[in-house]
Amino acid sequence: MKQLIECVPNFSEGRDMNIIRQITDQIESVEGVRLLNVDPGKATNRTVVTFVGEPAPVIEAAFRAIRKAAELIDMRKHKGEHPRMGATDVCPLIPVSGITMEETIPYAVKLAERVGKELNIPAYLYESAQSNPSRKNLSIIRAGEYEGFFKKIKLPEWKPDFGPDEFPAGSGATVIGARDFLVAYNANLNTTSVRRANSVAFDVRENGRKIKNEKGEEIVQPGACKAVKAIGWYIEEYGIAQVSMNLTNISITPVHIAFDECVKSAYNRGMRVTGSELVGLIPLKAMLDAGAYFLKKQQRSTGVSEQELIKIAVKSMGLDELTPFKPEERIIEYMLKDPQQEKLVRMNLIEFANETASESPAPGGGSISAYVAALGVSLGTMVANLSSHKKGWDERWEEFSRWAEKGQTIKSSLIKLVDEDTMAFTQIMNAFGLPKGSDEEKKIRAEAIESATRYAIEVPFKVMEEAFSSMELIREMAKEGNPNSVTDAAVGALCVRSAVLGAYLNVRINSGGLKDKAFVEKVIKDGQAIVDKTLAAEKDILQIVETKMK
């Protein structure tokens, strides 16, 4: 697996798009780096940039961007609502895949060292990259902001980790670190009062507010949400006050919980949350969890499509109140997708049929089997959703919702296998096309053919497994689901049966070219067992349906 890290630098310029573009051009000039999102804010006068890649190119891109920002942004002229201390205010590195936090830390240190030595900019480490506990927290490092740092930097305890201990008036200082994924999220209020917005922020954030106890001693009253930092501010651009939050661990406090806590606090204080705003990107799971959360509150089935869950999340939290919310531009997994890996499933029905009927050998029986299975489980899922919403069955909505969720999971897996089967076929063709002039080339070619052939067996076998796993859902819907849709469950079973048999044919024909006979023997035996169980399940389901129809 590739090592991927995400970098989310915050630059102290949110109004001049020419300056912002010059900075992002530096990022895109590095090969192997993908710019995912550029999110400027006029009122904050700050731009959050997100890009991703393997560690070395990401570090180079970050360095070039920090250098360009120092050239173009004069902090002596900067004004904005957001706390800041430099042209590149903060530059975190976040492990995405194939790399641990411990492995990410040295890259943050290396970047900070380069910034300090080569650019002569004071650089502070924070979060996981900082070994000094008293200097881990960004807000503590940044306290005093740009205006206060001319004196602060002279204090022995605030000597930079790298670079000069003189505060450069033009560029200011920067904070570089390694941290977990952070979601920057703002709740919109129907007020213009910063004071009232802060009252909600203090109710919500983990650190809460300072109060005096019965003895007159000052103590901290914790807020409602752990792993949440928050302040209130006024955004002139929108003419409203907001609760600006950093969710530092969304597994502890998800976005939808932070939103609901803001709703509760605002209501108790005579205000209303009118919507919310995401700054930068968000993980797909956070949006899916939010959609499911709000559907459960409505006692509706959560076994709906990924797109529907996202739509419910957006509408429930008002993420589109201030600007349009485009999932393909805001969800990190969507930004990282390779369109070539979803070439078939992105087609409409006519395009897919035409491509299948063309002279091209792919998509072939394997891809079609995966798609037929996806249609079969979709029918079972439809019956579950209809049953969940059936009038008079209110006490069973959660039961059918769980079945629908299971169906959606299986369907999503099968949809991915549609393109994966075609990619497996392509790998075999590519392997056979390798040169075979020398003994070494022949060896490499033979190994590539063996590996590609094994993959071309494993994919349709996975289709068999996933397809068969849906029979339990379909049987339950035929037996217990909405009786008006019993034949839909039957058609689903017929689709799954055809898919399993079709995928097994692909397993068998591709096994003929594999040298690993022990693997072949096992996969043929296991495949036949799945076929037998599928046929038995189909027979059982059709008997249930026939009985109900009579």
Active site residue 389: no
DSSP state of 74: -
Q: What would you report as the CA-atom Rg of the chain, rounded to the nearest whole angstrom?
A: 28
**Sign of the four-CA dihedral 25, 30, 35, 40:** negative
How many CA atoms does the CB half-sphere of 410 hold within 13 Å?
30
Cα distances (angstroms) measured from residue 163 to each of 75, 116, 123, 153, 159: 18, 4, 6, 11, 9
Give me 443's structure tokens. 């060896």
| Residue 190: how many other CB atoms lie within 10 Å | 14
Cα distances (angstroms) measured from residue 467 to each of 379, 406, 473, 540: 13, 12, 11, 16
Euclidean distance between CA atoms 452 and 429, whole angstroms: 9
The active-site residue out of 161, 419, 421, 488 is 421
Cα distances (angstroms) measured from residue 180 to each of 25, 100, 138, 209, 279: 26, 10, 13, 25, 16
DSSP state of 172: B
Active site residue 256: no
The active-site residue out of 82, 89, 203, 289 is 82
3-state secondary structure 274-343: EEEEEECCECHHHHHHHHHHHHHHCCCCCCCCHHHHHHHHHHHHCCCCCCCCCHHHHEHHHHHCCHHHHC
Active site positions, annotated: 82, 421
